[in-house]
Chains A and B, each alone.
Chain A
Amino acid sequence: MTMLRRIFVTVALLAGLAGGVSPVFAQAPAGQQNPAQRDQQEGFVPIDQLPPQDQLPAAPLLIGAYVFVLLALFGYVFSVARRLGAVQREVQRLEGDINRSARR
């Protein structure tokens, strides 16, 4: 066995040992767990309403809805006003051209 191969095998064995042993050390003894953790492990307890910190907040949805409505309305009014202005300018330009050519 070459020197390099021996080093690889030793590192792999140590890594495997550490991976297998660490969860055993990571687990705290049952007596040291807090009551909430113990309850979660032993069974699920149903409740009627979510605790406030888990509930979906309404304000971003409400503000999002109103902002969308106002942006959509402003955007449409702006779009129609811009189109109308462009057409009216074009009409005035053409009327001017026609009047000038009629005078000649």
Chain B
Amino acid sequence: MPKWFTPAAGLCAVMFAASPLVIANAPYESTMGLVQKIFYYHMPAAWIFLIAAIVCGVASARYLFTGSITQDRVAWAAAEQVFLFGAIALVTGPLWARKAWGQWWQWDVRLTASLMGWMVSCAYILLRKYGGPGSDKLAAGLALFGAANVPFIYISVNYWRTIHPATSVVPTLPVSMGGPLWFCVVAFLLLFVLLMKMRIILEEQRTRLDSLYLSLDE
């Protein structure tokens, strides 16, 4: 592990431990009340879900065009982050919606496109795990589709009629709500970087293991 990893992991743990206190001190939203506080974990998780999908798509494109194994490792690591943070966004969202909208799920554009993006990550992981030889290129193509879906997810709330909050909510937040949100965004971003690093090192170690087995056979 690199030198910066342990202090960064410590900082990330402290930020996650402090986040419930920071969120508890944020004011209640006037119409949704207590349940709106799910927002402070839901939105950073949703952002990381989109960022990870872009990272996976860009790395896959570079792997397809250059054949770089490093980019393939980055893409695989990012696909697992898309799965993890997508699952968090897709579970916390309905828990919030149940109280705020009166129903768990709405088949509107943002929710459906997000579910689709998450399912692409599921397909990518299954393909890499069970697809056999050549599945890396097929999975990379799938990741491009996942990344192309990201702008669609982001802007969908501004172009289609939906009950999901629009993108204008975050820039207009008062400091008392924006402070805790950005605190959680930094904590989630730091966690994403740490998990990516761990996952890339795992792939490097697997490659090393394969080469050791090959040298043992020779």
Is B162 an interface residue when CB atoms closer than 8 A count as contact?
no
Q: What is the size, in residues, of chain A's interface with B at 8 Å between Cβ atoms?
A: 27
Q: Does B65 contact A (CB under 8 A)?
A: no
Which residue of A is nearest B208, CB measured?
A91
A61 is an interface residue with CB less than 8 A from chain B? yes
Count chain B CB atoms within 10 A of each CB in A58, A72, A80, A84 and give the residue with the most: A58
Chain B contact residue count (CB 8 A cutoff) = 34
Identify which of B91-99, B118-126, B171-179 touches chain A. Answer: B91-99
Interchain CA distance A98-B198 in the complex, whole Å: 26
Tell me which of A5-13, A19-27, A28-36, A63-71 binds B. Answer: A63-71
Residues in A whose Cβ lies below 8 Å from that of B205: 84, 87-88, 91
Query: A interface, by DSSP: helix, strand, loop or mixed?
Result: helix
Taking a contact as CB atoms under 8 Å apart, the answer to whether B202 and A64 are in contact is no
Contact check, B88 vs A81: say whether CB atoms are below 8 A apart: no
> How many angstroms between the C-alpha atoms of A18 and B79 in the bound complex?
70
Of all chain A residues, the one with the shortest Cβ separation from B44 is A69
- Name the one of B33, B41, B191, B216 contacting A65, with C-beta atoms under 8 angstroms: B41
| Residue B195, interface by CB 8 Å | yes
A62 & B198 in contact (Cβ 8 Å cutoff)? no
Q: How far is the CA of A95 from the CA of B211 in the complex (A)?
A: 11
Which residues from chain B contact A81 at a C-beta distance below 8 Å?
198
User: Is the C-beta of B66 less than 8 angstroms from some C-beta in chain A?
Assistant: no
In the bound assembly, the distance between CA atoms of A61 and B100 in angstroms comes to 11
